[in-house]
Each structure stands twice: as C-alpha cells, then as structure tokens.
Amino acid sequence: MNTLLSESAPSPSEGSGEPDEVTVLTIRGGRPLRGRVDVKGAKNLATKAMVAALLGESASVLRDVPEISDVQVVRSLLEVHGVTVEDDGEGVLRLDPSGAVSAHMEEIDAHAGASRIPILFCGPLLHLLGQAFIPDLGGCRIGDRPIDFHLDALRAFGAIVDKLPSGIRLSAPDGLHGANIELPYPSVGATEQVLLTAVRAKGTTELRNAAIEPEIMDLIAVLQKMGAIISYEPNRVIFIEGVESLRGYDHRCIFDRNEAASWACAALATDGDIFVAGAKQQEMLTFLNVFRKAGGDFDIAEDGIRFRRGGALKPVVVETDVHPGFMTDWQQPLIVALTQAEGVSTVHETVYENRLGFTQALNKMGADIVVHPEGIASPDRRVPRRALEQAAVITGPTPLHGADVVVPDLRGGYSYVIAALAAEGESIIRNVDIIRRGYEKLFDKLAALGADFSVAG
Ligand code: EPZ
C-alpha cells in the first residue's frame, strides 16, 4: 500500500543537502516494475535555458519543464533578480526579464540551494547589470566540483573576479569582449558558461575542446532562437559572434536522457518492463548499445522506448566518457543492474573522482562490488586519462536483501531505490529529497509501475 506525500510538498531539506531523516522511503522489494513513465524535459537543459532568458529583451517561454527542485532553485534565483516567472502548472514557464535588478548577496545565498546552476548567472548578469555575486556552489558530492575553467573563461572575456569568503563577486566596468578559449577538459558547465557570456560580448569568441552533449546543442538552439550567431565544428570547436541584443525564445526542452536511462536500468534490475514515453533513440545510442550488451531488450516507438530484460543479464566493461561516450550519469543505475548479471563487470569512472562511493551501500544489500581507486583505464580515449579515475568491479549475480541506507547524491539515491526494489525484503532509504532534485514525481511513477512502498515525513 502506498501512502504518498504530495509531490509538490516543499522538501524541508531542499537546498541544505544535509541528510533529512524526516522524509524516509520504505520499500518492500522483490517485485518487477511494469508499466509506463512519462519523461519531461532534461534537468540539465531546462535549468540553463531558464538562465538564458535573462539575456533576452523580451519574455521567453520554456516548455516541458520538469517539476524538480533544481528548477525551483533557478526560478527563485531569477525572481530574486527581478525576473517574473509564471508557471501554467503543465510544465510551461513564461520568463520576463524586463524588470531585472541587482540582488543582495544574502538573498542570492538564501536561494542558491544545493545547485551548481548559479555559476551560470555570471555572464548574463554582467551583460545586464555590469556586476554579479555568485555564492559558493552546491551540487552532488561526487567530487570537488571546481570552477576554475569557468573563472578563467570569464576573465578572458574581460570580467574582474574577486573571491569572497561566501562566494565570488564579478564586475565588468568596460563590458565584455570576445575571447579565444581552450578548455583543459570538455566541461559541460564551462561550455555553457562561455556560450551564455559570448553571445552578447563585443566581437567573436572561439571555444576549443568544448562539450558537445545533446543538452549543450539544445542550449545552442535556444540561443540561436534568441538571435545569437553560433556555429560548431565536429572537432569540438564552437564559434560565437557576439550580437548587440537578443530577444526571448519559445522552446520545448530536449527530453531527459538521464531519467530515461535510469528507468531502463530499473527494468533490468527488477526484471521489469517499462515504457519510457518521450525517450528518443538518437540521443541514447551509446546507452542502448551497453543496455543490449548487458542482456537488455528495447523497442523504439514513435513516442518512446520500451525497456526490459532479453534473458539472463550479462557482464559488461564500461568506461564513462564525454559525449558521445557513455555518460557518467548513467553508470550508477547501471551498476545496480550489473549486480544481477552472471559474471564480472567493470565500470571505469573517468569524469568524477568520487562517484563510486554509493556502491558501499549496495554491498550492504548483498552486492559484491570492489572499487579500485586507481582505475582500469584504456590507453586510447577522447580525453587524456586523468589522475582522478576510479573503477568498480561488480561480480554477479548476487541476491540483494533490504537495508537501511542514506542517499549520498542524486543518481546514487535513485540507484538505491531500484536496488531496494530488486532486493528481497524491506529497505529504508533516508535523505530522499536529494532524489527529487532531478526526478520529477518519483513517488507517482513508482506507484504507477507497481512498486510497494510508503513515504513518511
Ligand atoms: C554537468 O555537470 C551535469 N550537471 C552533471 O550531471 C554531469 O554529470 C556533468 O555535466 C558531466 O556530463 C548539470 O548540468 C547541472 P563538468 P558539470 O563541468 O557541468 C571538472 C546529474 O547527475 N571541472 O562537465 O558540473 C569536474 O570536476 C549531474 O545530473 C573542473 O575541473 O560537469 C569534472 O571532473 C551530476 N573545473 C569534469 O570537469 C571546472 O571549472 C566534468 O565536469 C569545471 C569542471
């Protein structure tokens, strides 16, 4: 029997990132997930497109916006800066920046929450107001999450960056000019930082070693709708010609590949059968190859993808990478499914230095996962090997049993949910609110798929 909290209940821990013993999910596992889930717009595009609205001289409309706390954080930050945001309750936001004003540091700090998006306000606020204050960032504790690439890029555009005890203050007394920037690593956030700053800078910007994830290309589409002039080469070079002014956009977000991949892994882990409405094959090609190699079966339909097991699960060797490689956000749910594969799998994490810690709780549930801090890297890869790499070796199949666990980060938390659903017996999952940063209506979707759970707090 499921007792659901209202999905829109403001989460007490929102933004704190501290374990919240109040909202506790109790799952009674051992049942396959079967049914349909609808995936909305991508968390990692919608939040950036909302920031882009600041650059427009007229209002913007963003469609298919997911109802997640990361969107709420960005909405609050925009409103603190005088942007009016109307929500029609059906995933359509109307953002009007015509009343944009500077905000007080304390107000910004109070709303920044456990998100990394505030760093992307720098360029738009510098263009709009000539100054910006960005509080220290939150975000999943999957590594140090430095912002040196961002600050180096902003300085290249002519910004003055002062580090404060609680964040950074930026100013651009002479305005911002185009720059030639080469990223040390194809950072998604740093690429977005350059895009959101260069479009209104005086002159042309050339960005080398850029990230080219589908969410980045969708942000380029948003900016082009606003009047920006952006082109890119296949070898990760992006050119931006700065323009005098930009207008509002009307854009439907790309679907959330990470959520789609998460539900696909849930189908593998629980021997279920899940239709993910809104998922598209093109942006998931690499994931689908690994899904198939692991023993999964999928059917591509016009309006989504059906995921299920195609027989016994098989071990795989996966290395996370920048696009078009296997996304780092996909490895955590996949590892849960690999605990049920017949053999030894390896997952080599090359993007973050601490994104395999979540496996300890899986071992507490009966999994057999060994993490090698030094990694098991292949010599030839798109980006040179970095010292921070780690590898997980998963030996299966291992029957999972219920346990009491605390959610460490967004994707790790989701992985605990599907591990508990695959496990025999009852599991207690604490600090559940972190999961709601990136998964819209999680409890409703679990109920629709036949999960047996209750939520307290
Ligand atoms: C974005 O994070 C996503 N988050 C992440 O998704 C995703 O895992 C990541 O891109 C990689 O695809 C959002 O879009 C909100 P990066 P971001 O800059 O931009 C290092 C999820 O689960 N780096 O590409 O922060 C960094 O430490 C989240 O939805 C620097 O060293 O990722 C990391 O090792 C988790 N200096 C690597 O680059 C910098 O200034 C990739 O980070 C910036 C990054």
Identify the active-site residue in 122, 140, 253, 265. Answer: 140
Domain with 437 in it: what CATH number? 3.65.10.10
Q: Are residues 273 and 143 in the same domain?
A: no
Catalytic, 122? Answer: no
Q: Are residues 136 and 263 in the same domain?
A: no
Examine residue 387 and state whether it is found in any structural domain, yes or no: yes
Q: How many domains does the chain have?
A: 2
Ligand 1 atom 30: the closest Cα is on which residue? 146
pTM above 0.85, yes or no: yes
Cβ distance 55 to 271 under 8 Å? no
Predicted local distance difference test score (pLDDT) of residue 166:
83
Nearest ligand 1 atom to alpha carbon 215: 14
Examine residue 7 and state whether it is found in any structural domain, yes or no: no
Ligand 1 centre distance from Cα of residue 47 (Å): 14
Ligand 1 centre distance from Cα of residue 343 (Å): 31
Q: Are residues 270 and 382 in the same domain?
A: yes
Q: Are residues 205 and 272 in the same domain?
A: no
Cβ distance 62 to 92 under 8 Å? yes
φ/ψ bin of 91: left (φ > 0), alpha (ψ from -120 to 50), beta (otherwise): left
Q: Are residues 241 and 383 in the same domain?
A: no
Q: Mean pLDDT, consecutive 10-residue segments, the chain of 457 residues?
A: 36 38 86 97 98 97 96 94 95 95 80 84 94 84 86 97 90 96 97 98 98 98 98 96 98 98 98 98 98 98 97 96 97 98 96 93 98 74 71 97 96 97 97 92 97 93
Examine residue 158 and state whether it is found in any structural domain, yes or no: yes
Predicted local distance difference test score (pLDDT) of residue 379:
62
Examine residue 1 and state whether it is found in any structural domain, yes or no: no
Examine residue 57 and state whether it is found in any structural domain, yes or no: yes
Predicted local distance difference test score (pLDDT) of residue 385:
67
> Among the three residues 216, 234, 252, which one is the final residue of a domain in this structure?
252
Predicted local distance difference test score (pLDDT) of residue 381:
67
Rounded Cα distance, 146 and 160, in Å = 18
Nearest ligand 1 atom to alpha carbon 150: 40
> Among the three residues 222, 252, 282, which one is the final residue of a domain in this structure?
252
Tracing tokens 């027989």 back to the chain, one arrives at 311
Q: Are residues 396 and 416 in the same domain?
A: yes
Nearest ligand 1 atom to alpha carbon 188: 24
Q: Are residues 287 and 429 in the same domain?
A: yes
Q: Are residues 157 and 233 in the same domain?
A: yes
> Among the three residues 227, 252, 277, which one is the final residue of a domain in this structure?
252
Ligand 1 centre distance from Cα of residue 215 (Å): 13
Ligand 1 surroundings by CB, under 6 angstroms: 43-44, 116, 140, 143-150, 185, 187-190, 211, 258, 327-329, 351-352, 410-411, 438
Nearest C-alpha neighbor of 37 from the set 310, 265, 214, 327: 265
Ligand 1 atom 17: the closest Cα is on which residue? 189
Predicted local distance difference test score (pLDDT) of residue 345:
98
Ligand 1 atom 18: the closest Cα is on which residue? 187
Rounded Cα distance, 419 and 358, in Å = 11
Q: Are residues 232 and 157 in the same domain?
A: yes
Cβ distance 81 to 102 under 8 Å? yes
Q: Which domain holds residue 138?
A: 43-252
Examine residue 439 and state whether it is found in any structural domain, yes or no: yes
Q: Are residues 295 and 334 in the same domain?
A: yes
Ligand 1 atom 21: the closest Cα is on which residue? 329
Predicted local distance difference test score (pLDDT) of residue 445:
97
CA 242 remoteness from chain centre: 28
Q: Are residues 425 and 349 in the same domain?
A: yes
Examine residue 280 and state whether it is found in any structural domain, yes or no: yes
Q: Which residues of 408-439 are buried (b: 16+ CB within 10 A; e: fewer)?
A: bbbbbbbbbbbbbbbbeebbebbbbbbbbbbb
Examine residue 5 and state whether it is found in any structural domain, yes or no: no
Ligand 1 atom 31: the closest Cα is on which residue? 146
For a pocket test of ligand 1, which of 185, 194, 215, 326 has the largest count of ligand atoms closer than 8 A to its C-beta?
185
Give DSSP secondary structure letters for 77-140: HHHHTT-EEEE-SSS-EEEEGGG-----HHHHHHHHTT-SGGGGGHHHHHHHHSEEEEEPP---
Ligand 1 atom 26: the closest Cα is on which residue? 145
Q: What is the pLDDT of residues 73-103, one digit of tens each?
A: 999 999 999 999 999 999 999 999 998 887 8
Nearest ligand 1 atom to alpha carbon 152: 40
Q: Are residues 82 and 197 in the same domain?
A: yes
Q: Which helix (H) or strand (E) holds 421?
A: helix 410-422
